[in-house]
Amino acid sequence: MAQKGMISPFEPSLIRKVQKDLSIGCQPAISYGVSSYGYDIRLSPVEFRIFRHIPGTVVDPKNFNPQHLESTQLHTDNNGRYFILPAHSYSLGVALEKLEIPDNITVICIGKSTYARCGIIANITPAEAAWRGHLTLEFSNSSSADCRIYANEGVVKLLFFEGELCSVSYQNHHGKYQDQSEIVTLAKVC
C-alpha cells in the first residue's frame, strides 16, 4: 500500500546514512523509511514553530491565537539541517511525507527512542482511516538543555493497524484536519 501512494515519498528500506555533501560522503542519519513493524517519517524543513511564553496569556484550543507560535530558523552544519528546540519548550513541525490512509487502516504516530534519550517527547498522534495530508507533529523538550531536531531525517514512527472497513471514516465525517499541506496546521474546533 505504501508503494502505491499511501506514503509519498516512500523509502522501501531503513536509511541510516545519507549523502549530505558530495565532498564529505555518506553521513550518519537518524533512521527513516520502512522499519520492523512500521515506517519512520521525516521532519520537513519547511516550517517549525515554537510556543512563545507570553505572561498573562492562555492558549485556547477553541480560539487559537497564531501569535502564540513563532517560526524558528533552520540551521545547517556538517551534521545536517536542524531546528533548535529550547529547553522546557513545546513546538509544532510537519512531516515531509504525505499520507493517504486507506479506509481500513488507522495509524498511530509515536516518538523515536533516539530523540527520547535526549528528552524530546513526540506527542502520540493518530491518522484515522481515510485521512490524507502531511501530519502536524508535536514535540516537547523535557530536558534542561536545548536540543536539535533534524529536518529530512527520521523523527517519529508510524504504526499501522488494519481492520474491517470502518462505517464512518475521517473523510466521511469531514474531519477538520483533512488534506493538510506541508505547513504547520494550528488547533481548530469546528
Average pLDDT for the chain: 90
| CATH class of the 2-162 domain in this structure | mainly beta
- pLDDT band for position 39 (cuts 50, 70, 90): very high
Overall residue count recorded for the chain in this entry: 190
Residue from 109, 129, 93, 124 nearest 6 by CA: 129
Measured at the alpha carbon of residue 80, what is the angle toward residues 76 and 85, in degrees to the nearest 5? 70
Percent of the chain scored above 70 by pLDDT? 97
pLDDT at position 166: 80
Residue 41, SS3? strand
**Catalytic residue positions, numbered:** 138
- Checking if the pLDDT of 138 tops 70, the result is yes
Question: Which grid coordinates are listed for 33?
Answer: 523509511
Q: What is the pTM of this model?
A: 0.90
In the chain, what are the domain boundaries? 2-162
Cα separation, 90 vs 113, whole angstroms:
18
Q: If you average pLDDT over each of 4-13, 21-30, 168-177, which comes out highest?
A: 4-13
Name residue, grid cell 534519550: 117
Give the pLDDT confidence of 70-128 residue by residue, as tens digits.
999 999 998 999 999 999 999 999 999 999 999 999 999 999 999 999 999 999 888 99
pLDDT at position 67: 87
